[in-house]
Amino acid sequence: MPSEPIARMAAQLARLPGVGPKSAQRMAYHILTTPLDQARELAEAIWDGRRSARLCSSCGDLTSTDPCPICANARRLRNQICVVRDPRDVPAIERMHSYEGLYHVLHGALSPMDGIGPGDIRIRELMERLASGVEEVILATNPDVEGEATASYIARLIKPMGIKVTRIARGLPVGSDLEYADEMTLSRAFEGRLEV
């Protein structure tokens, strides 16, 4: 049995998403073998990050400044908003280095089974932002049941406003083999095919 401080560290680490008890215990032992100043830096980074994080008053992304650096950047396209489910989706899209518009983070997806309706995520805030000259809303919610329901609901709200609504394409990842793709992925790939 690990000693009480190690068990306590492992129990806290196991609360992180995707970290099981064995991984948490390995992390705890690793932290205990690092120099004390590195362990302090890790603890301070976690504490400072949690303490300083807030929501951008415009897009809803997590940030330490308000507005966030993306919303504050005058070079970003103000007429294009990409709607995502969670703050972690913003850096995923930013890694492409090709999207130049703004974002809107919903902080969830519609899920009637879980009691999550339109008033529980940031749809009202999105609708308020659309009055500022937005020409296109890109729906980049996850391709699961909740993400599709959320995208459909938002599209139905926006279309009567005369704003272009698009959905990110779904299909086969680069480098994959057709024989390993599931039917839904192949179907979406065929639906989203482009002329060459």
In three-state form (DSSP H/G/I as H, E/B as E, the rest C), the secondary structure along the chain is CCCHHHHHHHHHHCCCCCCCHHHHHHHHHHHHHCCHHHHHHHHHHHHHHHHHCEECCCCCCEECCCCCHHHHCCCCCCCEEEEECCCCHHHHHHCCCCCCCEEEECCCCCEHHHCECHHHCCHHHHHHHCCCCCCEEEECCCCCHHHHHHHHHHHHHHHHHCCEEEECCCCCCCCCCHHHCCHHHHHHHHHCCCCC
Which residues contact residue 57 at a Cβ distance below 8 angstroms, ignoring those fewer than 6 apart?
66, 67
- pLDDT over 70 at 1, yes or no: no
25-43 pLDDT tens trace: 999 999 999 999 999 999 9
Percent of the chain with pLDDT over 70: 96
Q: What pLDDT is attached to residue 137?
A: 96
Contact 103, 76 (CB under 8 A): no
> What is the tens place of the pLDDT at every residue in 102-135?
999 999 999 989 999 999 999 999 999 998 889 9
Average pLDDT, whole number, for the chain?
A: 91
Higher pLDDT pick, 192 / 135:
135
The architecture of the domain spanning 58-167 is 3-Layer(aba) Sandwich (3.40)
Q: List, for residues 136-185, the tens digit of each pLDDT value.
A: 999 999 888 899 999 999 999 999 999 999 998 877 777 777 677 778 77
- 172 vs 67 pLDDT, higher one: 67
